[in-house]
């Protein structure tokens, strides 16, 4: 009998069935990849294994013994550890405090200094740089992910669940991290590696289970499969990247930023003399690891943040000193923010209301200060059709929609406002293949209408799919600019980690 | 009255300020524990009253103020557990639950006091704690009386503050409590029982607030009267914010309010022609002004006020 057995697990949230009848057996000391698109139910399944969700049906056995986890504490006692996709960290506490939280008896003194030293040693050994005494809120996302990983490594576990652990690591960090995971497996740890990245599956796993729509659709030994087959199993069809050939050559410069300097938290330099130009009908892609100044750049261009120095021109107008609403109206900047839930939408308001967040002051959405509900409802229906927003009705709260549909609402609102400049951050993050394709198509169509697009993303492959030029950011600077199709992923990866090509040799 | 403040007058003012600050300090310390673990304790006022009643009843029935103190503190812990049951166990809105506790305690203590002590609860004095002057130190000029000629509960407060501070910042238990208030999700998935942490901190919170009430009865007026907490529990809420959710800060803020109160009393006595209600406003006005003034950069624990549901998104 296998070491870990998940037996006919089902999980329903209200009426929605997130997992149906999933059975999985994993041998001791092997690495099992769990592959699936976003929304397939991977995290839900792992949360069941870690005691975060009680399964609606089904049971779990470890080492031949039936176990029932009422909480993560139960799972931890039974040797299960988990790295969470959406990090479970207390932001006001320091890195060390987060790592030692829950360890040892209640009365035991914390002895943070000793732990800090041990954590520093561990982070050195695993090549995961962190600052043990900093509060987590001050750290960039990538470093938080490393804290989440260290937290688990520090505890040790017999069964290790890794839920998309590499999503915010740099390419070179991913390599050494995967090596470490392999080493843990070779030491006898049983690994469940959740991902939607096919190459990681091939590199790390002994076997792979593929999930789609809450069901287990296939199981393969790594020796008996390949990337192409896995991709088809995961998506349910063959995928072709979108490519809309451009209609016209880029026109005159529309957005020009010169020597932008900005400070982030802790007064560190977030932008270090960044300059860029985007022409009419051109997409400038910005690639880079999260937290290297991309957010600050986007916020400064939209007017959400003030630069220390530098200037921004939109067309002929200097807009450096203008506020957000002036920029949105005057020079027509559209913004698809990184934080869909916090900045992009009012989650508890209806889809229809979310469509008019930009335009509610103006005719015909409102007249003499009164909202025109009928127009808003009609417009919502039109936009939902055009942008393929799937929901029961325009009155449904945005919170209830899937990530893809939420993103389409934001995109529709910003593009239909008719901007000359469109700033798009993490447009495709967390979306399924269908939604990614749709979002990219809409952005490319906007480009063809002459919009100048700044496309910022940490997902390099998606940047490469839509951008005309790719600028790579590291520590608040552009470390290089490449043309898609002419640079290897490796080359871009090096630029992302701040190494110029010369230093490589 | 001379405009040059007289040194003995200041010494008296300080001494009565410290005494008046003590109940607020106890309640604020309790409030810090509750809010640090993720639950607003708006019921401090009621719990204080409840503790005052417990102290009076316990002393009246046994003749021993120590027994009264124990009774008051235990009743406070029970009230804290009730709040935990409501807003941790049953996920009732924390502000509503706290207000309910205040109303319940006001009504219940009034009723029980009449049953126990007779009409209008008035008249029945109980014994209490006398001052315990510290040899030599109590003779110091200016601060001698204020700090070293006080009742045992006044001496207990700084000790408790030190213990709470050390527990909060230097032990695993304290780390768990802080984590429960900052991110119950993180605490939960690190194996911490968030529900248990919150129950325990609310029980402690109630006990501390009640100890403040005990001080009113056993060290200040030796009698229970209806509504005798008179807003001190609400001032304690302000002290928590002013003290930035830190035990030491909260008690220092309580001291500030106590001094305002002492000043207010002094002004009442020296200006008998002015309606005394005007001076009564002083501590509340001071708390308002202080909150507005010092509010910048204050950040409450991130999860305070929110219900933790493991399966919610
Ligand atoms: N706590 C929850 N409440 C309601 N629905 C949920 C919850 N967690 C997940 N879901 C739904 O279950 C489905 C699977 O989600 P998830 O397990 O996060 O997918 P994956 O990790 O594969 O991307 C999604 O449709 C999601 O909306
Ligand atoms: Mg997931």
Do A69 and A176 fall into the same domain? yes
Report helix, strand or coil for A371. Answer: strand
Question: Ligand 1 pocket by C-beta < 6 Å: which residues?
Answer: A 13, 16, 18, 36, 38-44; B 311, 313
Q: What is the 3-state secondary structure (H, E, C) of A145-184?
A: HHHHHHHHHHHCCCEEEEECCCCCCCHHHHHHHHHHHHHH
C-alpha A505/C-alpha A496 separation (Å) is 17
C-alpha B245/C-alpha B294 separation (Å) is 13
Whether residues B175 and A54 touch (CB distance < 8 A) is answered with no
Q: What's the pLDDT band for A387 if we cut at 50, 70, 90?
A: very high
Of A13, A50, A102, the CB nearest to B192: A102
- Structure confidence by residue, pLDDT tens digits, A367-381: 888 989 999 999 999
CA distances from B178 to A11, A93, B169 (A): 32, 8, 9
Domain assignment present for residue A261? The answer is: yes
Domain assignment present for residue B306? The answer is: no
Domain assignment present for residue B309? The answer is: no
Residues A300-321 as b/e (b if ≥16 CB within 10 A, e otherwise) read bbbbbbebeebebbbbeeebbe
Do A397 and A429 fall into the same domain? no
Joined tokens for residue A122: 């561990």
Domain assignment present for residue B299? The answer is: no
The three-point CA angle A159-A160-A164 to 5° equals: 150
**In angstroms, what is the span from residue B105 Cα to ligand 1's centroid?**
44
Residue B21 near residue B255 (C-beta atoms within 8 A): yes
Whole-number pLDDT of residue A409: 96
- Is the pLDDT at A496 greater than 70, yes or no? yes
- Is the pLDDT at A145 greater than 90, yes or no? no
Whole-number pLDDT of residue B5: 63
- Is the pLDDT at A268 greater than 90, yes or no? no
Residue A428 near residue A404 (C-beta atoms within 8 A): no
| Nearest by Cα to A76 from A186, A152, A190, A146 | A152
The three-point CA angle A350-A352-A357 to 5° equals: 95
Domain assignment present for residue B284? The answer is: yes
Joined tokens for residue A252: 């005159």
Nearest-CA distance A220 → chain B (Å): 31
Task: Supply the range of the domain harboring residue B82.
Answer: 7-294
- Confirm or reject contact between A50 and chain B (CB < 8 A): yes
Q: Is the peptide bond before A297 cis (omega within 30 degrees of 0)?
A: no
- Structure confidence by residue, pLDDT tens digits, A297-308: 999 999 999 999
- Please tell me the total count of domains within chain B: 1
For the domain that residue A281 is a member of, what is the CATH number?
3.40.50.300
Do A434 and A484 fall into the same domain? yes
Quote the distance between the C-alpha of residue B132 and its chain's center: 22
Chain B CB contacts of A70 below 8 Å: none
Do A425 and A438 fall into the same domain? yes
Average pLDDT over residues A383-393: 90
* Lowest-confidence region among A199-203, A228-232, A350-354, B222-226: A228-232
Domain assignment present for residue A343? The answer is: no
Domain boundary among A217, A235, A253: A235
Q: Residue of the nearest CA to atom 10 in ligand 1?
A: A18
Render A309-338 in DSSP notation, one character per residue.
EEEEEETTEE-TT--HHHIIIII-EEEE-S
Do A188 and A311 fall into the same domain? no
Residue A278 near residue A452 (C-beta atoms within 8 A): yes
C-alpha B153/C-alpha A453 separation (Å) is 68
Joined tokens for residue A453: 């697009």
Whole-number pLDDT of residue B277: 87
**In angstroms, what is the span from residue A241 Cα to ligand 2's centroid?**
23
Which residues are placed with Cβ below 5 angstroms of ligand 2, an ion?
A 43, 85
C-alpha A224/C-alpha A202 separation (Å) is 11
Joined tokens for residue A216: 């287990």
Task: Using the structure block, give the residue that is written with the tokens 């030190």.
Answer: B162
Whether residues A93 and B185 touch (CB distance < 8 A) is answered with no
Q: To the nearest whole number, what is the mean pLDDT of chain A?
A: 88
- Confirm or reject contact between A91 and chain B (CB < 8 A): yes
Domain assignment present for residue A339? The answer is: no
- Structure confidence by residue, pLDDT tens digits, A113-128: 899 999 999 888 877 7
Domain assignment present for residue B106? The answer is: yes
Do A317 and A394 fall into the same domain? no
CA distances from B289 to A208, B21, B116 (A): 63, 18, 41
Q: Who wins on pLDDT, A109 or A293?
A: A293
| Nearest by Cα to A359 from A329, A324, A399 | A329
Quote the distance between the C-alpha of residue A399 and its chain's center: 18
| Nearest by Cα to B175 from A94, A74, A145, A71 | A94
- Is the pLDDT at A75 greater than 60, yes or no? yes
Do A326 and A438 fall into the same domain? yes
Do A314 and A247 fall into the same domain? yes
Domain assignment present for residue B310? The answer is: no
- Please tell me the total count of domains within chain A: 3
User: Which residues are within 8 A (CB) of B194 and not within 5 positions of it... i.e. 6 or more apart?
Assistant: B38, B180, B184, B187, B188, B308
- Structure confidence by residue, pLDDT tens digits, B172-227: 999 999 999 999 999 999 999 999 999 999 999 999 999 999 999 999 999 999 99
Of A76, A90, A97, the CB nearest to B191: A76
List the single residue in B with minimal CA-CA distance to A82.
Answer: B189
Task: Note the helical H segments in B40-171.
Answer: 44-62, 65-84, 94-117, 144-148, 152-170
- Is the pLDDT at A503 greater than 80, yes or no? no
Task: Supply the range of the domain harboring residue A44.
Answer: 4-235
Do A222 and A255 fall into the same domain? no
- Is the pLDDT at A456 greater than 90, yes or no? yes
Domain boundary among A417, A434, A463: A417
C-alpha A151/C-alpha A122 separation (Å) is 10
Of A50, A77, A91, the CB nearest to B183: A91
Domain boundary among A235, A252, A283: A235
Q: Residue of the nearest CA to atom 16 in ligand 1?
A: A41
Average pLDDT over residues A340-366: 90
Optimal mutation site among A19, A56, A72, interface B, most CBs of chain B within 10 A: A72
Do A370 and A496 fall into the same domain? no
Nearest-CA distance A399 → chain B (Å): 10
C-alpha A130/C-alpha B236 separation (Å) is 39
Report helix, strand or coil for A295. Answer: helix
- Confirm or reject contact between A316 and chain B (CB < 8 A): no
Chain A CB contacts of B176 below 8 Å: 101-102, 106
C-alpha B54/C-alpha B48 separation (Å) is 10
Report helix, strand or coil for A207. Answer: strand
- Is the pLDDT at A346 greater than 50, yes or no? yes
C-alpha A101/C-alpha A80 separation (Å) is 16
Report helix, strand or coil for A484. Answer: coil
User: Which residues are within 8 A (CB) of B250 and not within 5 positions of it... i.e. 6 or more apart?
Assistant: B25, B28, B29, B31, B32, B236, B239, B240, B242, B243
Do A13 and A154 fall into the same domain? yes
Burial class (CB in 10 A: 0-12, 13-18, 19+), A2: middle
Whole-number pLDDT of residue B61: 94
Give the residue, out of A18, A19, A403, with the most ligand 1 atoms within 8 A of its beta carbon, to mutate for a pocket test: A18
Do A294 and A307 fall into the same domain? yes
Whole-number pLDDT of residue B286: 85
The strand order across the sheet containing A57-62 reads A16-26, A4-13, A57-62, A65-67
Report helix, strand or coil for A52. Answer: coil
C-alpha A420/C-alpha A446 separation (Å) is 9
| Nearest by Cα to B212 from B58, B33, B45 | B45
- Is the pLDDT at A334 greater than 80, yes or no? yes
Half-sphere exposure (CA, 13 Å, Cβ side) for A21?
1
For the domain that residue B111 is a member of, what is the CATH number?
1.10.3470
CA torsion sign for A386, A389, A395, A397 is negative
Tens digit of each residue's pLDDT, chain B (313 residues): 445 567 788 888 999 999 999 999 999 999 999 999 999 999 999 999 999 999 999 999 999 999 999 999 999 999 999 999 999 999 999 999 999 999 999 999 999 998 988 765 456 888 999 888 888 888 888 888 888 889 999 999 999 999 999 999 999 999 999 999 999 999 999 999 999 999 999 999 999 999 999 999 999 999 999 999 999 999 999 999 999 999 999 999 999 999 999 999 988 888 888 888 888 888 888 888 888 887 776 788 999 999 998 888 6
């Amino acid at each position: 009998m296998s070491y870990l057995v998940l037996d006919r697990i089902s999980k329903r949230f209200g009426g929605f069935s997130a997992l149906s009848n999933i059975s999985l057996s994993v041998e001791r000391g092997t690495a099992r990849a769990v592959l699936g698109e976003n929304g397939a139910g991977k995290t839900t399944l792992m949360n069941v294994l870690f005691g975060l969700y009680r399964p609606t049906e089904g049971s779990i056995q470890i080492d031949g013994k039936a176990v029932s986890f009422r909480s993560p504490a139960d799972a931890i006692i039974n040797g299960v550890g988990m790295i969470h996709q959406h990090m479970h960290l207390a932001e006001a506490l320091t890195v060390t405090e987060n790592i030692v939280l829950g360890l040892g008896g209640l009365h035991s003194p914390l002895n943070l200094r000793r732990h800090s030293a041990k954590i520093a040693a561990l982070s050195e050994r695993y090549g995961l740089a962190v600052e043990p005494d900093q509060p987590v809120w001050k750290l960039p996302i990538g470093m938080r992910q490393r804290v989440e990983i260290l937290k688990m490594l520090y505890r040790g576990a017999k069964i290790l669940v890794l839920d998309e652990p590499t999503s915010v690591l740099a390419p070179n960090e991913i390599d050494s991290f995967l090596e470490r995971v392999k080493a843990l497996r070779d030491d006898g740890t049983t690994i469940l590696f959740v991902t939607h990245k096919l190459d990681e599956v091939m590199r790390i796993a002994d076997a792979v289970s593929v999930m789609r729509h809450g069901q287990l659709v296939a199981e393969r030994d790594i020796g008996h499969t390949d990337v192409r087959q896995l991709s088809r199993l995961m998506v349910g069809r063959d995928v072709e990247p979108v490519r809309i050939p451009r209609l016209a050559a880029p026109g005159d410069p529309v957005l020009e930023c010169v020597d932008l300097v900005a400070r982030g938290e802790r007064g560190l330099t977030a932008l270090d003399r960044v300059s860029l130009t985007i022409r009419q009908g051109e997409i400038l892609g910005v690639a880079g690891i999260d937290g290297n100044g991309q957010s600050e750049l986007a916020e400064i261009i939209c007017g959400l943040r003030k630069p220390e120095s530098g200037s921004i021109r939109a067309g002929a107008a200097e807009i450096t000193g203008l506020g957000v609403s002036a920029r949105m109206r005057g020079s027509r900047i559209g913004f698809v923010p990184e934080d869909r839930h916090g900045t992009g939408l009012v989650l508890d308001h209806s889809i229809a209301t979310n469509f008019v967040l930009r335009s509610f002051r103006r005719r015909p959405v409102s007249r003499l200060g009164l909202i025109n509900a009928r127009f808003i409802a009609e417009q919502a229906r039109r936009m939902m059709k055009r942008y393929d927003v799937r929901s029961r009705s325009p009155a449904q709260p945005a919170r209830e929609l899937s990530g893809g549909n939420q993103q389409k609402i934001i995109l529709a609102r910003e593009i239909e406002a008719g901007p000359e400049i469109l700033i798009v951050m993490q447009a495709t993050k967390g979306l399924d293949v269908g939604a990614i394709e749709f979002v990219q198509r809409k952005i490319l169509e906007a480009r063809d209408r002459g919009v100048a697009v700044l496309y910022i993303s940490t997902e390099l492959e998606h940047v490469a799919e839509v951008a005309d030029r790719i600028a790579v950011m590291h520590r608040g600077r552009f470390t290089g600019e490449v043309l898609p199709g002419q640079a290897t992923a490796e080359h871009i990866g090096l630029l992302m980690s701040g190494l110029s090509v010369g230093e490589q040799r | 009255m001379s405009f040059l403040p007289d040194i003995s007058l200041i010494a008296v003012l300080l001494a009565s300020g410290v005494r008046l600050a003590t109940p607020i300090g106890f309640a604020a310390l309790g409030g810090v524990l509750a809010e640090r673990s993720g639950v607003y304790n708006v019921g401090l006022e009621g719990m204080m009253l409840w503790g005052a009643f417990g102290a009076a009843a316990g002393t009246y029935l046994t003749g021993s103020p120590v027994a009264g103190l124990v009774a008051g503190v235990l009743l406070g812990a029970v009230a804290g557990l009730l709040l935990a049951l409501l807003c941790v166990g049953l996920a009732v809105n924390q502000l509503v639950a706290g207000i309910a506790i205040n109303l319940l305690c006001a009504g219940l203590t009034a009723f029980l006091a009449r049953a126990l002590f007779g009409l209008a609860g008035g008249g029945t004095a109980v014994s209490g704690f006398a001052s315990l002057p510290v040899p030599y130190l109590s003779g110091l000029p200016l601060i001698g009386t204020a700090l070293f000629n006080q009742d045992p509960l006044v001496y207990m407060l700084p000790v408790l503050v030190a213990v709470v501070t050390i527990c909060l910042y230097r032990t695993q238990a304290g780390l768990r409590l802080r984590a429960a208030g900052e991110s119950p999700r993180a605490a939960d998935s690190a194996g911490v029982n968030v529900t248990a942490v919150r129950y325990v901190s609310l029980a402690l919170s109630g006990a501390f607030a009640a100890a403040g009430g005990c001080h009113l009865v056993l060290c200040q007026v030796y009698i229970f009267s209806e509504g005798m907490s008179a807003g001190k529990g609400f001032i304690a809420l302000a002290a928590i914010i002013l003290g930035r959710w830190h035990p030491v800060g909260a008690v220092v803020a309580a001291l500030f309010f106590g001094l305002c109160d002492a000043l207010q009393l002094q002004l009442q006595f020296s200006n008998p022609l002015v309606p005394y209600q005007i001076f009564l406003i002083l501590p509340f006005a001071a708390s308002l002004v202080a909150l507005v003034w010092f509010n910048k950069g204050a950040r409450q624990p991130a999860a305070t006020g929110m219900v933790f549901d493991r399966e919610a998104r």
